[in-house]
Amino acid sequence: MPLIIMCGYPCSGKTRRTEELKAHFEETTDRQVHIVGDRALGVDRNSVYADSQKEKDTRASLKAEVERKVNKDNIVILDSLNYIKGYRYELFCLTKHAQTPHCLVRMQVHCLTSGEESSLWNKNREAAEQYSQDIFDALVQRFEAPDSRNRWDSPLFTVLKDDILPLEAVSDALFKRKAPPPNQSTQSQPLSSTNFLYELDKITQDVLMAIFNAQKTSVPGDLISVPGATEKISFMTVNMAELRKLRRQFISYSKMHPTEKTGQIANMFVQYLNKGLH
């Protein structure tokens, strides 16, 4: 399923352009068009974008929804801010894994007054649809503009306020361009041994239990020893749901990059947790 990633300041016209793209592809193709975005998730923007953890969870939910819908047959449009370069790279890797084309439609960011215009559009919205001024200003400040020289931001279509959306060019980018080929980081590899998955599951579970038990007596800053690892966990208060999420991510990564040295799994997992928790 070709993926279109909308990108731009808050209130820069992304949803209006999304509807234009949806109408065009429904009229000119037999493909289904799926829109994934904040509105579909019922996101309370002033609550979510004021809390970094809530925002991170929302991005994860949007990515998961795209991943559920993406295939080679239909079209997905991700209608959200998508203002973080690293997040756009994750979406690019997702399309490589699915072996489907993608493109990026960038709204108004070349216009020197786009921040002011977007702010005015925000104020003209119904109260329930508005960003607070503090949240709006923070999002504009954090915006990481796409760059067509980056492969994950290419092809890039920049659309200003009064521009006509280049529908045919977007269509050509999706349907006449080869999908990015999968590579080692996005394509599953065979397990290196029949015991690898068992060891991976058991060792990572033992590490989580060690952390869980240590939380009862540890204070932030303590170094926690875990079974089978020379590396130590730098303790911080974290719930088990977050630890299980990191464990699932590590297992998925390890399946694609298996190792014959199962004795290193605990150390690798500890290093992964230390990076993911700080």
According to DSSP, residue 194 is labeled T
Structural domains of the chain, ranges and CATH numbers in brackets: 3-186 (3.40.50.300), 195-277 (no CATH)
- Contacts (Cβ under 8 Å, ≥6 apart) of 199: 262, 265
Tell me which residue of 2, 19, 17, 24 sits closest to 164, measured CA to CA: 17
pLDDT band at 114 (very low <50, low <70, confident <90, very high): low
Average pLDDT over the chain reads: 82
Check residues 192 and 251 and name the one with the higher pLDDT. 251
Radius of gyration of the chain (CA): 22
Instruction: Give the tens place of pLDDT for each residue, 140-189.
Output: 999 988 888 888 888 888 888 888 888 998 898 888 876 555 544 444 44
What is the distance between the alpha carbons of residues 182 and 175, in angstroms, rounded to a whole number? 18
pLDDT of residue 101: 63
pTM of the model: 0.63
pLDDT of residue 39: 87
Tell me which residue of 45, 59, 43, 51 sits closest to 5, measured CA to CA: 59
What is the distance between the alpha carbons of residues 100 and 60, in angstroms, rounded to a whole number? 20
